[in-house]
Amino acid sequence: MPAEQLRLDLGHLTLAAQAWGNPELPPILLLHGWLDNSATFVHVAPQLAAAGYYVVALDLPGHGLSDHRAVGCGYWLWDYVSDVLLAADRLGFTQFTLAGHSMGGIIGVLLSASLPERVQRLLLIDGLLPYTAEADEAPQKLADFLRAQEALGGKRKPVYPERELAVKARMQGVGSITYEAAEHLCERGLEAVEGGFTWRSDARLTLPSPLRLSRAHALAFVQRIEAPTLLLLAEQGMLLTPLKQQLETVLAGTHIEHHNLPGGHHLHLDSAEGGQLVVEQMLKFLAKNESLP
């Protein structure tokens, strides 16, 4: 099922997006992870659409084919939440199912907890809590950001003389991925420049956060979620392996349904088989909760 290419004018910037299926069907909005783009759902989105949903995957600001933020602006989680809400408004999604991978899942948690009347169901792929820091760490976090921001002006993006070299470099990024997965991300993540290819993504995305939520802040959002929520954990991902004990504590007392699936952090993208496993769990969950408002 080929995707329709969309452009969503949010006023302060324009987002690129891909859509599958009939706009008259129940909507699902997909959010990708950090330094990825909407191509991360190449195995997932068409199957969800074939099952009877209108599926839209965004390129978040600074990623893929979307605009970069204006000079002087940053890429903070709460700004992404606002952008996603504006995108939903432009699409006419009064209520919708929200699905996110990694950072996209974190954005989904913040939006769902803040405006529960908008998000009917929440589907998370190896993403739940942002990185946190406590009050006594705040001065150092801000110092790290300021120094990195000053140094960024002297850095240049790498230029790869051949596209294949860029694909291989992307394989070694956050949550190492397969060659096939890297190829998909590079379709929207690369641009041709003099001497070869470089990344389209905004270099400011690599800056550390100047201020992080505390653990108490992050947990408050998780505990506030009202929508039926499914969390799919990769057995070799970024949540289950390093944070198993903490994760059990976070999920205790919530209504979040969670399942472990084989694969790494990009289990939904690394192979068609991994995507199929993710879709099967999502559709089973959606069917179980389809009668809910």
Task: Record the tokens describing residue 119, joined without a space.
Answer: 């998000």
**CA dihedral sign of residues 37, 38, 39, 41:** positive
Alpha helix (H) residue ranges in the chain: 45-50, 77-91, 103-114, 138-152, 163-171, 179-189, 215-224, 240-251, 267-270, 272-288
Report the side by side order of strands in the sheet with 257-264: 4-9, 14-20, 54-58, 27-31, 96-101, 119-125, 229-236, 257-264
Q: How far is CA 4 from the centre of its chain?
A: 20
Annotation says 112 is catalytic: no
Task: Record the tokens describing residue 256, joined without a space.
Answer: 């979040």
- Cα 216 from Cα 270, distance rounded (Å): 33
Q: How far is CA 180 from the centre of its chain?
A: 19
**CA dihedral sign of residues 136, 142, 144, 147:** negative
Query: Annotated catalytic residue: which of 38, 66, 82, 102?
Result: 102
Residues annotated as part of the active site: 102
